[in-house]
Amino acid sequence: MESLQNARNEIDAIDQEMAKLFERRMKVCRGIAEYKRERALPIQDSARESTVIDKGLKRIADPELQEYYACFLRDMMKTSRDYQTRLTKGMRVVYSGVEGAFAHIAAKRAFPNAQLFSVGDFKKAYRAVEAGEYDCAVLPIENSYAGDVGAVMDLMFSGSLYVNRMIELKVEHNLLACPGATMEGIRTVVSHPQALEQCAEFIRAHGWETLAYTNTAVAAKYVSEANDPTIAAIASDETASLFGLNILAQGVNASQVNKSVDELFVDGDRRFGTSFAVFTRAPHLPDPKNNDGSDHFILVFTTRNEAGALALPLNIIGAHDFNMRNLRSRPMKDLNWSYYFFVEAEGNINTQSGQNMLSELSAVCAKLKLVGTYSEVKA
């Protein structure tokens, strides 16, 4: 009995030390939560958690205890995530659009515990974050059907915010109608012009008339308020729930071209869906030691007005083994026949090679701006 009590006394002493270390660790987690909030980074970092476990297991000399220590670390990291989530609950996230529109859906999925706010246009959302009214803005930069969103790209070039996160939203269009409506009774379909175009094959097959609305959520709201069984809207399933509509047909997109995922990338394929960028006031650079291939960066630049000027920066990027996944040009306002260029590339720009590349680009570009970096997470 004495030996049992001695063992318990020793455990109490160890627990006392562990409690101090736990408190110390959670204070560090509080700082991490503040950093992530300022940069709108996700709370969970699966790659980092795997690294923590791998490192931790190497510190355990007794192989029999390794699986138990792995469980201990997983529980500890879950506690850390829960604490960080609570600390970031008050985030103020702004988007452009109305409740139920795809921008609202993207913001809600990326920031489920945040307060969401809507403004009338992209510029208002962007400038409001710059002014400190909100923590971040969720704005579209590319649509698989319509291409890039020029107004947002112009803000990237002229504004002061950074992109630290990308959201790929699955765009699946559904046919929504009021309760009691049937496919046979539909005569008119309402939605955003792009949604109507994407679903044109489906609509033509049924011989329906179409009516364009400013966005899919407004169209769904109209169908709900009209309560007319002959009118249907094309919108998301979230919008159906929001306005009390029934889904008569799912996935009516032509060829399902807008296929992707809600928050994550699938197989690195950006051809499908709508891409949203998360804009914040604070920049974030990846760990220079990270070489797992998940890091990406966005640059905008202008070139000098001379022959072959564009080839110079592109050759520099390639010479440093960064793979460009997007290259676009946009006309500069107030300067006729002048353009800026948008580059999205794969690789860790915070390595020595990346920093050397930026230095070389600065020497040949009239203007150079690192808009942001983000990690591509594969499902």
Rounded CA-CA distance 367/162 in Å is 16
Q: What are phi and psi for residue 336, nearest 5 degrees?
A: -65, 140
What is residue 379's DSSP assignment?
-
Element (H, E) at 261: none
Q: CATH 3.40.50.920: does it fit domain 90-169+264-284?
A: no
Two domains, one topology: 174-256 and 285-379: no
- Cβ atoms of 173 and 252 within 8 Å: the answer is yes
Query: Residues 245-297: pLDDT tens digits?
Result: 999 999 998 544 443 333 333 333 444 478 899 999 999 999 998 888 889 99
Query: Residues 291-325: pLDDT tens digits?
Result: 888 899 999 999 988 888 999 999 999 999 999 99
Task: Show me where the domains of the chain are located.
Answer: 2-87, 90-169+264-284, 174-256, 285-379
Rounded CA-CA distance 378/135 in Å is 26
> What pLDDT was estimated at residue 146?
53
Q: Where are the alpha helices (DSSP H) in 141-297?
A: 150-158, 193-198, 200-206, 216-226, 237-243
> What pLDDT was estimated at residue 303?
92
Instruction: Provide CB contacts within 8 A for 36, sequence distance 6+.
Output: 42, 43, 84, 88
CATH class held by domain 2-87: mainly alpha
Give Dmax over CA atoms of the chain in angstroms: 90
Entry pTM: 0.81
Divide the 379 residues of the chain into consecutive groups of 10 and give the mean pLDDT of each group.
86 95 96 93 90 94 95 96 90 91 90 92 96 95 69 93 91 92 96 89 95 92 96 93 95 57 36 81 92 91 89 96 93 81 95 96 95 74
> What pLDDT was estimated at residue 97?
84
> What pLDDT was estimated at residue 260?
35
What end-to-end distance do the CA atoms of the chain give, in Å? 53
Specify the fold of 174-256: D-Maltodextrin-Binding Protein; domain 2 (3.40.190)
Q: CATH 3.40.50.1370: does it fit domain 285-379?
A: no
Q: Where are the alpha helices (DSSP H) in 96-187?
A: 102-110, 122-130, 150-158
